[in-house]
Amino acid sequence: MSNANFVDYVKIFCRSGKGGAGSVHLHRDKFTRKGGPDGGDGGRGGHVILKGNEQLWTLLHLKFRKHVFATHGEGGGASLKTGASGEDAYIEVPLGTVARDAESNEVLFEITEHNQEKVLIAGGRGGLGNDHFKSSTNQTPRFAQPGETGGEGWFILELKLLADVGLVGFPNAGKSTLLSAMSAARPKIAEYPFTTLVPNLGIVKYRDDRSFVMADIPGIIEGASEGKGLGHRFLRHIERNSILLFMVPADSKDIREEYGILLSELEKYNPELLDKGRLLVISKSDLLDEELKEEIRQDLPEIKSHFISSVANIGLVTLNDIIWKMLNI
């Protein structure tokens, strides 16, 4: 997916439909000259509804659809006929979409399942017809309720990728190469920082037709929690991952320090991220012999760790086993 086609944030204006007015009508036919009230109720206004679609991976289809309007309900009729409801306006979104009120920034709800529906703005209720207002002292009321007005406002839709494993690391740590080696995903790979400018998802096949989803999150830098580099734009995608796989290359000057910086940035952004399962992977380990590996192990932080080389296909099968076990504890 190209950078231009990955959209994970949109701001849209939505308006629900107005409810139809209740009817003021008195029953008349060739046998009845002065019948009682029989005005029907107005139909409700259309809702604005978000609906999950597992076939969508981005909010690109909403990038140029800035206004979403539902239709109004119709008025009630004679013989207690209820007016037709307004047509609901559906907004299909990928799984992992969060809806916020643009003014207050309040989180309204999240869409996490296929075909899940949540009402973003409810349509106005239809007004009651005059039949509801008859009484012993007023047997022919000549009034009815108007329909309620619908709601409107600006809303923010944010996508947080749903994945089992999130790859976390500095730019050029080998995350894209690992994803490419373990799945059918083909992210852009090159020897310079910020090669990955959009998150990439890959389905990793395991034994007996089992699988899990891995996400390559664009590289974090020191200060990302404060908005530096790619900043908040992609840190939110990490919130959805079950396991965080920290990647530090074997040729790093200080693996412990690099891991500490990554952990610190996640904690500043959202302390709850530290409650997730963590695995430290030392990439590019084909550069190391056993003596160097043992020396590095002595100085690693107290966290489950594993050496791999995506290019030389070293340690990937064992890594799969470790991940699967962590996902199914």
Q: Give the model's pLDDT for residue 234.
A: 64
Q: Are residues 107 and 125 in the same domain?
A: yes
Closest CA to 157 of 12, 3, 302, 14: 12
Residue 310 · residue 178 · CB < 8 Å = yes
Out of 127, 159, 191, a domain closes at 159
Residues 155, 169 within the same domain? no
User: Do 154 and 169 belong together in one domain?
Assistant: no
pLDDT 10s digits, 290-324: 898 998 999 898 899 999 999 899 999 999 999 99
Last residue within a domain, chosen from 124, 159, 194? 159
Report residue 155 as tokens. 């809303």
**pLDDT at residue 179 in the model:** 87
Q: Residue 192: pLDDT band by 50, 70, 90 thresholds?
A: very low
Instruction: Answer yes or no: do 13 and 138 share one domain.
Output: yes
> Both 191 and 275 in a single domain?
yes
Strand partners, 319: none
Assess contact for 52 and 116: CB atoms under 8 A: yes
Taking 60 as the threshold, does the pLDDT of residue 275 lie above it? yes
Please give, one letter per residue, the 3-state secondary structure of the chain. Answer: CCHHHCCCEEEEEEECCCCCCCCCCECCECCECCCCECCCCCCCCCCEEEEECCCCCCCHHHCCCCEEECCCCCCCCCCCCCCCCCCCEEEEECCCEEEEECCCCCEEEEECCCCCEEEEECCCCCCCCHHHHCCCCCCCCCCCCCCCCCCEEEEEEEECCCCCEEEECCCCCCHHHHHHHHCCCCCCCCCCCCCCCCCEEEEEECHHHCEEEEEECCCCCCCHHHCCCCCHHHHHHHHHCCEEEEEEECCCCCHHHHHHHHHHHHHHHCHHHHHCEEEEEEECHHHCCHHHHHHHHCCCCCCCEEECECCCCECHHHHHHHHHHHHCC
Residue 207 and residue 319 in one domain: yes
**Under 8 Å between Cβ of 165 and 242:** yes
Q: Are residues 225 and 140 in the same domain?
A: no
Range of the domain at 132: 1-159
Contact 97, 111 (CB under 8 A): yes
Q: Say yes or no: 142 and 199 in one domain.
A: no
In this structure, the answer to whether residues 303 and 318 fall within a common structural domain is yes
Report the chain's mean pLDDT, rounded to a whole number.
87
Q: How confident is the model at residue 38 (pLDDT cuts 50, 70, 90)?
A: very high
Tokens of 56: 């969508």
Same domain? 48 vs 7:
yes
Q: What is the pLDDT of residues 128-153, one digit of tens each?
A: 999 999 998 999 999 999 999 999 99
The whole-number pLDDT of residue 268 equals 86
pLDDT at 188 over 80: no
Are residue 242 and residue 262 in the same domain, yes or no?
A: yes
- For residues 182 and 311, state if they share a domain: yes
Query: pTM of the full predicted structure?
Result: 0.72
CATH of the domain at 22: 2.70.210.12
- Total number of domains in the chain: 2
Q: Is the dihedral of CA 130, 135, 140, 141 positive or negative?
A: negative
Residue 237 pLDDT level (bands cut at 50, 70, 90): confident
Phi/psi of residue 204, each to 5°?
Answer: -95, 120
pLDDT score of 88:
98
